[in-house]
């Protein structure tokens, strides 16, 4: 077996390299550009980290279902009934099936589609009023819109202050990601950041409590929304609260990022935007927005969204842990290793990812690294 290639060990455990690359997702892209489709690297919270960017080699890891607990430990303060990101497979599988029955269920999509349309149209109208007079905070506005939709769709209610909830999520994540990557701050600032994160978490839990209370006061156990499905499944209150928190946390930001990148890319490619506009005119006629049934008649729009997420996936990597040694191609991954799925690098699938084609920071890699998605752990 051949040793897995990678950079020399650093005294800081790899934190400096990740920071210099502007995040783990860009660091992985740089590593694969320099060392090839499989690379080992240092990462706080993982004794041995291995990233695999070749879809064929990744097949050897398909059976892995254990998530690295240390890597996801920064999320533990969000949960009361156990970290949902590292549940054992036997407990995670039925919960995942339950969530998919709601989040991927057509009946609930159709039931809430008119409300989605109203929320999106209201935002578009606000943008139109400000056109030419002031810049639009695209990602912030779309993230807030996503949170409103999630509250209306998955939670059975609406957050009274979605902008405040978005800010609170960012405060909590900044604090706990900072702990994960051991980002040093001056003593007083560290204390202030921890205090702000604590207040933000308390605020978020209060928001969730209000949404849950509003749902229960209506006496509904509708399986087409998240809380109704969890109540009907007999989940205990703490698990319901945890699941609601994770849904709001995981979905609102990634959705806002995905749509932001799509609009950004269409703005840079007016010919593609024009073709999508023609498609919308043909399907909608004089109507201002599509109905649910119209979505299947908008293939160009669908392709644009998917291509945007290929180029800039909102969840740019995932991770599993090996319980025993694993052979991947010509390499052996040791037991206890954290195996990364660098989704962004796999999607790009650029010839420059072959070893020696370019090195981190060189002109040849500059185009791919010029922009990056928002960091976050994928499923």
**Is 57 contained in some domain?**
yes
Last residue of a domain, one of 264, 279, 306: 264
Least trusted range by pLDDT, from 37-51, 200-214, 230-244, 285-299: 200-214
308 within a domain of the structure (yes/no)? no
102 and 224 inside one domain = yes
Contact criterion met (CB below 8 Å) for 369 and 29: yes
The pLDDT of residue 75? 79
Do 324 and 223 lie in one domain? The reply is: no
Q: 91 to each of 86, 95, 97, 247, 291, how far by Cα in Å?
A: 10, 7, 11, 17, 38
Q: Model confidence at 34, in pLDDT bands (50, 70, 90)?
A: very high
Compare 290 and 233 and report the one with higher pLDDT.
290
Residues 139 and 188 placed together within one structural domain of the fold? yes
Residue whose entry in the numeric block shows the structure tokens 């927005």: 289
- Among the listed residues 363, 319, 318, the one whose alpha carbon sits nearest the alpha carbon of residue 337: 319
Question: 224 and 252 share a domain?
Answer: yes
Interval 290-332: pLDDT, tens: 999 999 999 999 999 999 999 999 988 899 999 999 999 999 9
Band (335; pLDDT cuts 50, 70, 90)? very high
Give residue 278's pLDDT: 97
| pLDDT mean across residues, the chain | 82
pLDDT tens by residue, 141-160: 998 888 888 877 766 555 56
Distance CA 211, CA 208 (A): 5
Task: Classify residue 212: in a domain, yes or no.
Answer: yes
pLDDT of 45 above 90: no
- Assigned token pair, 70: 């240390």
In the three-class reduction of DSSP (H, G, I as helix; E, B as strand; rest coil), residue 124 is classed as helix
Same domain, 43 and 119: no
pLDDT at residue 220, rounded to an integer = 54
340: domain CATH number? 3.30.43.20
What is the number of other CB atoms lying within 10 angstroms of the CB of residue 249? 21
In a domain, 153, yes or no: yes
Residue 73 covered by a domain: no
Let me know whether 97 and 240 are in one domain. yes
**Nearest-10 crossing angle of helices 299-311, 237-268:** 100
Name the residue with tokens 């999320």. 75
Indicate whether 114 and 240 sit together in one domain. Answer: yes
* Full-model pTM: 0.79
State the pLDDT at residue 298: 97
Q: Which domain covers residue 320, as residue numbers?
A: 15-64+315-369
pLDDT over 60 at 221, yes or no:
no
* Domain of residue 205, CATH code: 1.10.630.10
Q: How many structural domains is the chain composed of?
A: 2
What's the pLDDT at 356?
A: 37
d(CA 24, CA 347): 16
Phi/psi at 194 (nearest 5 deg)? -65, -40
The answer, yes or no, to whether residue 238 has pLDDT greater than 70, is yes
Q: Are residues 343 and 197 in the same domain?
A: no
Burial zone of 256 (CB within 10 Å; 0-12 exposed, 13-18 middle, 19+ buried): buried
Residue 284 predicted with pLDDT over 50: yes
How far is it, in rounded angstroms, from Cα 227 to Cα 232?
Answer: 8
Within-domain flag for 298:
no
Q: pLDDT digit string (tens) for 112-131?
A: 899 899 999 999 999 999 88
Q: What is the mean pLDDT of residues 344-361?
A: 55
User: Quick one: 243 and 351 in the same domain?
Assistant: no
Instruction: For residue 225, tell me if it sits in a domain.
Output: yes
Ordered alpha helix ranges (H), the chain: 15-20, 24-35, 55-58, 89-103, 106-130, 138-153, 162-180, 187-217, 226-232, 237-268, 270-284, 299-311, 343-348, 363-369
For residue 363, give both structure tokens.
């002109």
Q: Last residue of a domain, which of 246, 264, 282? A: 264
Report if residue 270 sits inside a domain: no
Residue 270 has pLDDT above 90, yes or no: yes
pLDDT value for 218: 59
Statement: residue 164 has pLDDT above 90: no
In terms of domains, do 101 and 178 share one? yes
**In this structure, are 125 and 168 located in the same domain?**
yes
Residue 353 in this model has a pLDDT that exceeds 50:
no
Residue-wise burial string across 140-159, b where 16 or more C-beta atoms lie within 10 A, e elsewhere? ebbbbbbbbbbbbbbbbbbb
**Tens digit of pLDDT for each residue in 177-186?**
666 555 666 6
**Is residue 33 within 8 Å of residue 140, measured between CB atoms?**
no
| Cα–Cα distance, 204 to 159 (Å, whole number) | 10
User: Are 240 and 118 found together in one domain?
Assistant: yes
Domain end, chosen from 248, 264, 280, is at: 264
Name every residue whose Cβ is closer than 8 Å to that of residue 88 and which is 6 or more positions away in sequence. none
| Residue percentage of the chain with pLDDT more than 90 | 37
Higher-confidence position of 239 and 132? 239
The partner residues of 39 in beta bridges, in order of sequence, read 51
């Amino acid at each position: 077996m051949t040793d897995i290639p990678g950079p020399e060990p650093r005294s800081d455990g790899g934190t400096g390299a990740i920071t210099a690359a502007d995040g783990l997702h860009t660091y992985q892209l740089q590593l694969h550009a320099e060392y090839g489709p499989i690379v080992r690297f240092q990462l706080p919270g993982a004794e041995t980290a291995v990233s695999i960017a070749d879809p064929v080699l990744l097949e050897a890891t398909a059976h892995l279902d254990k998530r690295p607990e240390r890597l996801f430990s920064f999320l533990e303060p969000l949960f009361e009934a156990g970290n949902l990101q590292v549940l054992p497979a036997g407990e995670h599988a039925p919960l995942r099936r339950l969530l998919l029955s709601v989040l991927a269920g057509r009946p609930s999509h159709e039931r809430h589609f008119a409300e989605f349309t109203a929320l999106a149209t209201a935002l578009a109208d606000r943008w139109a009023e400000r056109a030419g007079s002031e810049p639009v905070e695209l990602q912030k506005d779309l993230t807030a819109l996503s949170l409103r939709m999630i509250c209306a769709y998955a939670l059975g209610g609406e957050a009274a202050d979605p902008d405040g909830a978005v800010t609170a999520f960012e405060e909590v994540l900044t604090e706990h990601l900072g702990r994960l990557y051991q980002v040093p701050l001056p003593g007083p600032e560290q204390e202030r950041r921890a205090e702000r994160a604590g207040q933000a978490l308390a605020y978020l839990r209060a928001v969730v409590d209000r949404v849950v209370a509003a749902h229960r006061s209506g006496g509904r156990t509708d399986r087409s929304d998240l809380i109704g499905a969890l109540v009907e499944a007999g989940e205990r209150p703490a698990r319901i609260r945890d699941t609601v928190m994770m849904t709001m946390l995981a979905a609102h930001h990634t959705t806002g990022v995905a749509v932001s990148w799509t609009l950004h890319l269409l703005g840079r490619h007016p010919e593609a935007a024009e073709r999508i506009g023609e498609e919308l005119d043909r399907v909608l006629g004089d109507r201002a927005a599509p109905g649910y049934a119209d979505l299947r008649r908008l293939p160009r729009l669908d392709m644009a969204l998917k291509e945007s997420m290929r180029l800039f996936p909102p969840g740019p990597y995932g991770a599993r842990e090996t319980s025993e040694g694993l052979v991947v191609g010509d390499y052996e991954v040791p037991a206890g290793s954290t195996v990364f799925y660098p989704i962004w690098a796999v999607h790009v699938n650029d010839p420059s990812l072959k070893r020696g084609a370019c090195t981190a920071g060189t002109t040849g890699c500059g185009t791919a690294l010029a922009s990056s998605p928002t960091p976050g752990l994928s499923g």
